[in-house]
């Protein structure tokens, strides 16, 4: 089989499309024939060598959709040929191994490209809003980078849950997409103050939950947008990792909550079952929509990374494997 392997950290030219050994599923694992895989910001950092804990060599990709080829020992609930999707390292290849606990049946109404657009972005947003922040209907939520993989999912999850949602982006065309997905307040943070716009729209009460996707570049504005007892969920750092805040946040009783879906002990036992039970039916009913910006052939991985760097996308950039 072929796939994109990185043997040395560096630029896009370090992602090599090569013949690789067919992976074999161990106990609790499933081998999947990949039809489509999604691109994530984190992959650009993995390739560059600035993503903590990334060993070499590695096959690129973090999520995908395809059909089951072989079940490892002890796996039940899946059958050969079934359409599936989920998170697995090494998805930018023709075959990949999933841990069965991260694999889900792909709803019939979704294409493989749509399935590949869901796992990382939606599970991160679901974990942040439901498992970490315990979001309640009627709360006010600030979604940073609403055009991003996580942001575009978070916006739909917050709106479906009956929340008021503010969306930020650096481009007006992204904000127009966010409006179509139900955003109540649109903020182009390149020319508007996030906190001023939020306070104006909320009659100075601020938001209950903020999803910190960008980090350093907008952290102060995000903190200044918070309301009493607010929760700041911190998981992204596209705009830098070193944030600074004033301890007067204590007056608002703010809760600063950091998270990673890769290491959270609650992710597999809490977030995965809740996503299977509550989110999958909403995709089946068409009430949740995977957001696909662009579909490219698998061989165009370098172009896909350029698109992430250009920051024009709304939703996901997807790679499709030629069959
Ligand atoms: N902790 C976890 O478990 C977890 C899981 C998934 C993702 N993440 C993190 O969440 C963040 C977002 O991931 P994603 O896949 O949603 O990213 P994405 O689709 O690439 O979107 C990121 C967006 O962030 C905004 N941004 C602001 N400043 C930026 C900068 N200096 N460089 C690049 N983008 C910048 C851009 O939108 P605007 O220009 O419109 O603002 C950009 O499009 C990343 O840091 C990722 O590593 C964490």
171-219: pLDDT as tens digits:
999 999 999 999 999 999 999 999 999 999 999 999 999 999 999 999 9
Q: Which pair of structure tokens corresponds to residue 290?
A: 């995977």
Mean pLDDT confidence for 162-168:
98
Instruction: Out of 2.60.15.10, 3.30.460.20, 3.40.50.1220, 3.40.50.720, select the CATH number for domain 121-258.
Output: 3.40.50.720
Instruction: Out of 3.90.180.10, 3.30.420.40, 2.40.370.10, 3.40.50.720, select the CATH number for domain 2-118+291-320.
Output: 3.90.180.10
Query: Rounded to the nearest whole angstrom, what is the distance from the C-alpha of residue 321 to the centroid of ligand 1?
Result: 25
Q: Are strands 15-19 and 2-6 parallel, antiparallel or unpaired?
A: antiparallel
Every domain range in the chain assigned CATH 3.40.50.720: 121-258
CB within 6 Å of ligand 1 — which residues?
Answer: 40-42, 120-121, 124, 145, 147-151, 169-171, 174, 213-214, 217, 235-239, 259-261, 308, 311
Q: How far lies 29's CA from each of 20, 55, 103, 114, 284, in Å? A: 19, 21, 9, 23, 26
Query: Rounded to the nearest whole angstrom, what is the distance from the C-alpha of residue 160 to the centroid of ligand 1?
Result: 22
The atom number, within ligand 1, closest to the CA of 311 reads 43
User: pLDDT-derived band of residue 30, with 50, 70 and 90 as boundaries?
Assistant: very high
CA-nearest residue, atom 47 of ligand 1: 42
Mean per-residue pLDDT of the chain: 97
Question: In degrees rounded to 5, what are phi and psi of residue 149?
Answer: -60, -50
State the Cα–Cα distance between residues 87 and 91, nearest whole angstrom: 8
Q: How far lies 246's CA from each of 40, 49, 74, 210, in Å? A: 32, 32, 52, 17
Every domain range in the chain assigned CATH 3.90.180.10: 2-118+291-320
% of the chain surpassing 90 pLDDT = 97
State the Cα–Cα distance between residues 233 and 212, nearest whole angstrom: 6
With the most atoms of ligand 1 within 8 angstroms of its CB, the residue from 48, 148, 194 to mutate is 148
Mean pLDDT confidence for 273-279:
98
User: pLDDT-derived band of residue 161, with 50, 70 and 90 as boundaries?
Assistant: very high
Query: Rounded to the nearest whole angstrom, what is the distance from the C-alpha of residue 174 to the centroid of ligand 1?
Result: 14
Q: What is 242-292 written as a DSSP string?
A: -----GGGGGGT-EEEE--TTT-TTIIIIIHHHIIIIIHHHHHTTSS---E
pLDDT of residue 52: 83
Q: How far lies 67's CA from each of 36, 97, 137, 183, 242, in Å? A: 10, 12, 36, 35, 41
Q: Report pTM.
A: 0.98
pLDDT of residue 245: 87
**Is pLDDT of 65 > 90?**
yes
Using DSSP's 3-state secondary structure scheme, residue 63 falls into strand
With the most atoms of ligand 1 within 8 angstroms of its CB, the residue from 236, 240, 312 to mutate is 236
User: pLDDT-derived band of residue 32, with 50, 70 and 90 as boundaries?
Assistant: very high
Nearest to 210 by CA among 102, 124, 129, 138: 129
CA-nearest residue, atom 13 of ligand 1: 41
User: pLDDT-derived band of residue 53, with 50, 70 and 90 as boundaries?
Assistant: confident
Mean pLDDT confidence for 116-135:
98
Question: What pLDDT digit, counting tens, does each position of 220-235 carry?
Answer: 999 999 999 999 999 9
């Amino acid at each position: 089989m072929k796939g994109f392997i990185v043997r040395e950290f560096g630029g896009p030219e370090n992602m090599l499309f090569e013949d690789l050994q067919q992976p074999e599923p161990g106990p609790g694992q499933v081998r999947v024939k990949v039809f489509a895989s999604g691109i994530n910001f984190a992959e650009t950092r993995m390739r560059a060598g600035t993503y903590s804990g990334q060993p070499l060599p590695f096959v690129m990709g973090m999520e995908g959709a395809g059909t089951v080829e072989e079940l490892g020992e002890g796996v039940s609930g899946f059958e050969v040929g079934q359409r599936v999707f989920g998170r697995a390292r090494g998805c930018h290849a023709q075959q990949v191994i999933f841990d069965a606990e991260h694999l889900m049946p792909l709803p019939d109404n979704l294409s493989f490209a749509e399935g590949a657009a869901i796992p990382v972005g939606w599970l991160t947003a679901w974990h942040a809003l439901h498992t970490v922040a315990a979001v309640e209907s009627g709360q006010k939520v600030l979604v940073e980078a609403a055009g991003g993989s996580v942001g575009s999912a978070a916006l739909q999850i917050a709106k479906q849950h009956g929340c008021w949602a503010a969306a930020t982006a650096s481009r007006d065309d992204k904000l127009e997409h966010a409006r179509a997905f139900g955003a109540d307040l649109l903020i182009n943070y390149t020319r508007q103050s996030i906190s001023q716009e939020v306070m104006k729209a909320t009659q100075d009460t601020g938001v209950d939950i903020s999803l910190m996707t960008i980090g350093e570049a907008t952290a102060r504005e995000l903190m200044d947008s918070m309301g009493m007892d607010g929760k700041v969920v911190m998981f992204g750092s596209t705009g830098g990792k070193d944030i600074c805040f004033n301890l007067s946040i204590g007056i608002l009783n703010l809760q600063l909550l950091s998270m990673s879906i890769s290491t959270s002990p609650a992710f597999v036992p809490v977030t995965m079952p809740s996503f299977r039970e509550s989110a999958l039916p909403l995709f089946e009913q068409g009430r949740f929509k995977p957001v696909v910006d662009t579909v490219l052939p698998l061989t165009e991985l370098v172009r896909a990374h350029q698109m992430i760097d250009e920051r024009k996308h709304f939703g996901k950039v997807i790679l499709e494997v030629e069959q």
